[in-house]
Structure 1
């Protein structure tokens, strides 16, 4: 640095010399060969160039998977204590039941052939073969006689596979079309468990239940309780130990329910609200409860009963056998259910959300102002009884009044009527005293009307799941039925596309008004086959994808409306 000399600055464009031979620049002994290192940015750019461009279809599928991950990443369906303490059960409960030797000796290939014959899809580990006869399921004689009295001679596909799974103590997700006999799949094993416990150690006052079934609506709970009570009566008349069941729901005096609980009950059929009240007030306990079934499980979560169910679970003292059933069990509920189940078995008869193939589906374009008049014509298609569905309670009342004026014997059911009116209307309709039942979707979930030949959708529902449940009130237990649906310009294109694809799947006639609808997802159909998913993974609709799901949008809007405004003046969380 003498004389103000400056060091030469390096040229930014030049690269340092790297020896390429075995000799150094000054002729010294050979050293190791030094390679120029590639920067991370350069490597990333190179990788992007080598990676094939993502198509629009692949991008859409990737985005949908991300949406589903965000939806299903919710709290596990466990009690507060189990979540807090990290309690996780790894083994199923043992019941002591085993299938007959001839069933146990079936190879896996033979069992799969039986499943394929009856279109049963099963997922899970250590699967039991389906059983094709109630006798081989080892039910007692009075149960078999009661089945015969109801003209049930052989099990349906969901019963063939579901009953052995539950009798063996496994947790299960059951999906089958409406009218397929799901109620017996969980009711009979619960009665067998209750009978076993009563023989071992009879229940004393204040004890019980041994198991319970939770339903989303009072009508479904009442119907399920009547089915169970029929088998309990048959068993008692045959000299078996007496089992006691109790219907727990709103609209019934709580003191009556409390008195029954003091005597001790084996089986409870309940709606979430009243069940939670009784547990909170310590009128009942779940100390010996080993069995929990959520009927129409997806409907309960959609109706906002998720936290109620989680609160009920917190009253269990030990592990329980958990079952979830529905006709439409989309992926989001299935993933949610698996958080509560131990090594679950999924039994699926047909696609989840598919329509019953025993129902002839007819779709008519009817202007809004002509609906009432055309309804009278539709009632002439078949003999009564006929079920008519409308979206709004006001429309139900209008249709009911119109039919009465025209001399039609009709009754009406909707959420605005009190419990006594609803029960009386359904009883009169089931007894054949009334020809037509007009109802909202309160009558579409799980209710069994065995002799209905015709269902009329006066209004198309906003969600295709509700359509599937509605038309499933006919075509039950192997019988055929007709479903007529009125459509017009008031329906969204999304629900009409869902309806079109549902008709295609069931090989039904598609009216011209639906045929002309363009399918925006046509280019995704081949990709759907490759990915194994069809339509919307959130609601099961075949005419749209999850990004355009009307049900998801509706629930998001509802959630925003229920968000508290902590800052006032429509600030964060308030209305905009």
Structure 2
């Protein structure tokens, strides 16, 4: 009995101590809450900003620089940029820096870097071979665009480059021409032999974009051959097609590829990157998503020496810029538009449409402009359903998405470009970099989950200084975060803001006052902060589940 009483007293004492501890915790929380209220809203913002800085710092610490295992293991860091035989005309070399800056200002070109080559406003001053000049004249490419004025001279001079420009700005020529000139110079000095090559490598995130780039370069290469220049062999390395092994065995001068297929070829030793002196990543923002980043890093393991690196995109968030700058050698940044801004030549219209009413309303919206029209959807099933619906209604439409066979995708794009089809229905596989020069109207059947994809989508219209229209359907399925991004983008682009967007409260409006950063430092969206970034959250989920984007042909973005 005595023992029982002692045990009971110990139990009561423990319960009393536990209650005391609980009370202390509650009091502690109350004291912290009271202190937060005393600190005021500005201190709260500072706390949030510091949390963001810690988050970005941890993200940067996880990323090693873009280099081969050989370079990382031996701590090889290149300090001097590559050089080339190209030099600008004397009058440009002797142009004072203030005159150069006036030219850049005239064409709305922003630059950052050391020893930046002069802007060049005439194609003749790039000293390109006459056959190339003839092809550009035939294509009615008479004057360089702003991105070409500054970035092309940098690329031809051998400098590492980050090019940021609106979709449709002509950035393809900025990497295509230096790749051709690099390959031509190597071939003239010492002809390539079997097992050598490529000298230039161009990576694209989708088969369609890679095929388009391949066609551009092949046309220039064929023009040179017809004018008795050495034949440059250009290889297309993408999923869904049979590789030209005969050409590969002869040694390609230039390879245009998607990451997954290229990595497979490198592992099989179909060709080597030992002699590659130029690598370009088109749509670089996509290349550094989790979808492709692992493949890109593995590809860089095959480089044996220093190379010139060119990166281009319409969107380049600050976080990606900082990462890339640490991986390149004294890079030059050429910016002809805010990183992640929309094309000012596009009239953006946003309409509130119930989910169940979108299909029927689509027919009405199609009447806004003459064809050709692009319709974008988030998933493959909607693409198929909309295409079938439009065909039943007598609309000449076709469709592409990652689930279709390569030949079907190519045929759809070919028919659409040729004017045989008035409407192309697509997932985002068609929004990145593809060249549809005469698109009148882009319809976002679904608001994309990330504002970057919205910018890429509407960039299909309003090209070459022509005005285009973009119509976007929104409803209650859209998150406040993406709608706030859209609202801020419309404000920046001086577009009409629908009442439904104006009514959404913005909890981050005043954060820029604290740290000077506008929007998200991770994805570039203007309507949220990095701490609340949907893309960062999605990337984290991908890292955990190790699954790729639904529109990729295989996990990890291999794009087979």
Distance 1:149 1:303 in 2: 40
**Does 2:358 correspond to 1:374?**
no
Shift of 1:303: 4.5
Check whether the contact 2:375–2:423 (CA below 8 A) recurs between aligned residues: yes
Retained in 2: the 8 A contact 1:354–1:468? Answer: yes
CA RMSD across the alignment? 1.6
Number of aligned residue pairs = 508
Give deviations 1:387-407, integer Å, cap 9, x for gaps: 000111111111011001000
Structure 2 equivalent of residue 71 of structure 1: 59
CA shift for structure 1 position 61? 2.4
Task: Tell me how far 1:130 sits from its aligned partner.
Answer: 0.9
TM-fit CA distance, 1:447: 0.6
Consecutive unaligned residues of structure 1, counting only runs of 5 or more, are 1-50, 564-576
**Structure 1: distance between partners of 2:133 and 2:153:** 16
Partner of 2:207: 218
d(CA) in 2 for partners of 1:304, 1:284: 24
Higher mean Cα deviation, 298-307 or 483-492?
Answer: 298-307
The one of 91, 98, 104 equivalent to 2:80 is 91
| Cα displacement (A) at 1:284 | 0.8
For the pair 1:294 / 2:266, whether they are aligned, the reply is no
* Structure of greater relative contact order (alpha carbons < 8 Å, 6+ residues apart): 2
Corresponding position of 2:24: none
Q: Which residue of 2 aligns with 1:314?
A: 301
Q: Residues 194-209 of structure 1: matches in 2 within 5 Å?
A: 194-209=183-198
2-side partners of 1:289 and 1:562: how far apart? 31
Alpha-carbon distance in structure 1 between the residues aligned to 2:488 and 2:512:
12
Pairing 1:464–2:448 present? no
Q: Is the 8 A contact 1:297 1:326 kept in 2?
A: yes
* Structure 1 stretches of 4+ moved >4 Å: 51-54
- Per-residue CA deviations over 1:317-349 (Å, capped at 9, x if unaligned) read 211111111111112211221232111111111
Partner-residue secondary structure (3-state), 1:269: strand
CA distance in 2, matches of 1:336, 1:108: 29
Output the CA distance in 2 between the equivalents of 1:175 and 1:296.
10
How far did 1:163 drift? Answer: 0.4
1:135-165 Cα shifts (integer Å, max 9, x gaps): 1111111111111111211111111110010
Match for residue 109 of structure 2? 120
What 5-or-longer segments of structure 2 have no aligned partner? 1-38, 548-560
Q: CA deviation at 1:252?
A: 1.3
Query: 2:495 and 2:451 mapped to 1: Cα distance?
Result: 16
8 A contact 1:80–1:310 mirrored in 2: no
The aligned counterpart of 2:533 is: 549
Corresponding residue for 2:329? 342
Conserved 8 A contact 1:353-1:540? yes
Does residue 358 (structure 1) correspond to residue 358 (structure 2)? The answer is no
- 1:40-74 C-alpha deviation (Å, 9 max, x unpaired): xxxxxxxxxxx999723333322222211111221
Is the partner of 2:383 in helix, strand or coil? helix
Residue in 2 that maps onto 1:193: 182
Match of 1:561 among 536, 540, 545: 545
Map of 1:446 onto structure 2: 433
- Offset of residue 272 of structure 1: 0.8
Q: Is the partner of 2:348 in helix, strand or coil?
A: strand
Pair 150,285 (structure 1): closer, same or farther in 2 beyond 3 Å: same
Corresponding residue to 2:499 among 512, 518, 521 = 512
Alignment partner of 1:82 out of 71, 91, 95: 71
- Residue correspondence of structure 1 range 123-134 to structure 2 within 5 A: 123-134=112-123
**1:523 equivalenced with 2:503 (yes/no):** no
Is contact 1:71-1:332 (8 Å) kept?
no
Q: How far does the alpha carbon of each residue in 1:396-434 deviate from its partner, in whole angstroms, 9 at most, with x for none?
A: 111011001000111111111111111111111111111
Choose 1 or 2 for highest CA Rg: 1
> Do the aligned partners of 2:45 and 2:514 also contact (CA within 8 Å) in 1?
yes
- Give CA-to-partner distance per residue, 1:194-225, whole Å, 9 cap, x none: 11111111112232111110111111100100
Q: Deviations for 1:254-301, whole angstroms, at most 9, x for unmatched residues?
A: 4x3x22111121111001111111111111112221010011112022
Q: Which residue of 1 aligns with 2:4?
A: none
Shift of 1:523: 2.1
SS of residue matched to 1:273 = helix
Q: State the distance in 2 between where 1:445 and 1:303 align.
A: 17
Q: Which of 255, 272, 290 is equivalent to 1:268? A: 255
